[in-house]
């Protein structure tokens, strides 16, 4: 006998359409969650990326602006903050809030000019509130950017003539005794090579002039002597302006410039004027248009001779120290910057600091080597005096820094 359940006991089946509507609601909720997630990615993360790019641009600008004021650390930091993205900064953006800027300076040993600092670092930080990502439990993003700039950075195009006093006193001791090791000349070589190490070979061209001159380019490594001055064909410039003295920041010892610096010997007396004039002549002949001309002139004593093709009454022979100043004057007027280095001017080898005429009389009016070399320089800040013997690396490093000053550039600290 078949049992038929009463109507209230029967299981009610949900119509298919109702079941589908329930499933659709679940799918829609899941889809909305995905949409919110995508919105968070597109809008919130996208805005965070925009903020980062803005902060990076601000940090770069602030670091470059600050670097132009180095080595004045306080001034550099003040200018960097002025260009930052924090409230009140020139790169502040109305649509980016909660921004803070921190600035610091430091010394990077691989860059010249640590006197006392040569680099500035700017860090920008912002707290970016989210809109959609809050649903995912992310209320904000911390966004940061960092930039470091150096100055000087050795990127300024320059044409530079080094002029080396290679007279006999460069192979004497401070007291005038013979020094077979030529210690002073070695110190000068080391200083010049230190200088080259801070230059950028592709953009900064460097040549070499000497006094006394060489009788010919073929004899540039021969021991010089006073009679070399007396030939009108004598070669003061023994290495023309060149850009192959370094590869990848390392000196190329086989290059004409470096090898010629290394082979110099000492001999003869001192005359400034013609060496300066010939250095400028090389800059005129082979220097580049629109590039700053530089002469770095090193001497360890007073001028006391002049070429015999001038008369005995010529200032080149009667006033060789004064003539050095007078020969430098039109060079400076032309726009060339002259740095001069007085080396071991307190030496005791026969009055190294006393300017004399060709016939060994005191120059009139009286002038010292210190005064002459100071007068040759473009200004008091361009004259470096090292009164006693010793290393010259620090002075040449300071000059390398000064001639590149104002050439700020962003650098990657990861490769420093």
- Cα 155 to the chain's mean position, in Å? 6
Range with the largest mean pLDDT of 56-65, 97-106, 242-251, 305-314: 305-314
Kind plus residue range of the DSSP H or E element containing 122: strand 119-129
Range with the largest mean pLDDT of 39-48, 110-119, 147-156, 168-177: 168-177
**Is pLDDT above 90 for 156?**
no
pLDDT of residue 247: 86
Mean pLDDT for 156-162 is 94
**Is pLDDT above 90 for 310?**
yes
What percent of the chain lies above the pLDDT cut of 90?
Answer: 61
Mean pLDDT for 152-163 is 86
> Which pair of tokens denotes residue 104?
């610091």
Return residue ranges of the chain for CATH 3.40.50.410.
158-407
d(CA 351, CA 370): 12
Per the CB < 8 A criterion, the answer to whether 416 and 164 are in contact is no
Helix/strand/coil for 202: coil
**Is pLDDT above 60 for 19?**
no
**Is pLDDT above 70 for 214?**
yes
pLDDT of residue 410: 87
- Return the ∠ at Cα 335 (arms to 374 and 153), rounded to 5°: 85
The radius of gyration of the chain from alpha carbons, rounded to an integer in Å, stands at 35
pLDDT of residue 130: 81
pLDDT of residue 9: 52
> Which pair of tokens denotes residue 267?
């001999």
- Tokens 């590869």 correspond to 247
What confidence tier does 125 reach under pLDDT thresholds 50, 70, 90?
very high
**Which of 19-33, 68-82, 136-150, 184-198 is least confident?**
19-33
Task: Give me the architecture of the 158-407 domain, per CATH.
Answer: 3-Layer(aba) Sandwich (3.40)
What confidence tier does 290 reach under pLDDT thresholds 50, 70, 90?
very high
Burial profile 92-111: b = 16 or more Cβ within 10 angstroms, e = fewer: ebeebeebebebebeebeeb
What confidence tier does 299 reach under pLDDT thresholds 50, 70, 90?
very high
């Amino acid at each position: 006998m078949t049992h038929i359940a009463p109507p209230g006991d029967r299981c009610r089946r949900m119509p298919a359409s109702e079941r589908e509507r329930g499933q659709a609601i679940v799918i829609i909720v899941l889809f909305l969650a995905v949409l919110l997630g995508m919105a968070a990615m597109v809008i919130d993360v996208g805005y965070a990326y925009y903020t980062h790019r803005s902060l990076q641009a601000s940090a770069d600008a602030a670091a470059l602006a600050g670097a132009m004021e180095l080595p004045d650390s306080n001034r550099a930091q003040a200018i960097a903050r002025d260009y930052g993205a924090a409230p009140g900064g020139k790169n502040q953006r109305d649509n980016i809030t909660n921004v803070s800027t921190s600035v610091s300076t430091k010394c990077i040993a691989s860059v010249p000019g640590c006197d006392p600092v040569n680099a500035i670092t700017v860090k920008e930080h912002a707290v970016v509130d989210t809109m959609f990502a809050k649903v995912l439990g992310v209320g904000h993003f911390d966004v940061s950017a960092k930039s470091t700039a150096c100055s000087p950075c050795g990127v300024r195009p320059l044409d530079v003539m080094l002029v080396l006093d290679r007279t006999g006193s460069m192979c004497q001791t401070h007291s005038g005794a013979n020094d077979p090791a030529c210690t002073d000349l070695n110190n000068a070589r080391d200083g010049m090579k230190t200088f080259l190490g801070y230059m950028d070979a592709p953009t900064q061209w460097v040549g070499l002039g000497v006094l006394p001159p060489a009788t010919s380019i073929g004899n540039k490594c021969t021991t010089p002597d006073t009679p070399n001055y007396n030939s009108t064909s004598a070669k003061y410039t023994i290495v023309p302006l060149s850009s192959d003295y370094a590869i990848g920041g390392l000196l190329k010892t086989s290059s004409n410039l470096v090898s010629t610096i290394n082979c110099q010997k000492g001999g003869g007396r001192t005359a400034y004027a013609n060496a300066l004039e010939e250095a400028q002549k090389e800059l005129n002949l082979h220097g580049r248009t629109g590039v700053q001309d530089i002469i770095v002139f090193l001497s360890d004593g007073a001028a006391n001779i002049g070429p015999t093709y001038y008369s005995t009454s010529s200032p080149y022979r009667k006033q060789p120290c004064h003539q050095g100043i007078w020969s430098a004057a039109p060079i400076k007027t032309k726009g060339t910057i002259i740095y001069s280095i007085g080396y071991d001017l307190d030496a005791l080898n026969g009055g190294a600091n006393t300017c004399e005429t060709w016939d060994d009389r005191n120059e009139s009016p009286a002038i010292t080597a210190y005064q002459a070399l100071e007068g040759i320089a473009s200004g008091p800040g361009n004259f470096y005096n090292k009164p006693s013997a010793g290393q010259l690396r620090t002075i040449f490093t300071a000059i390398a820094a000064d001639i590149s000053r104002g050439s700020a550039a962003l650098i990657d600290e990861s490769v420093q």
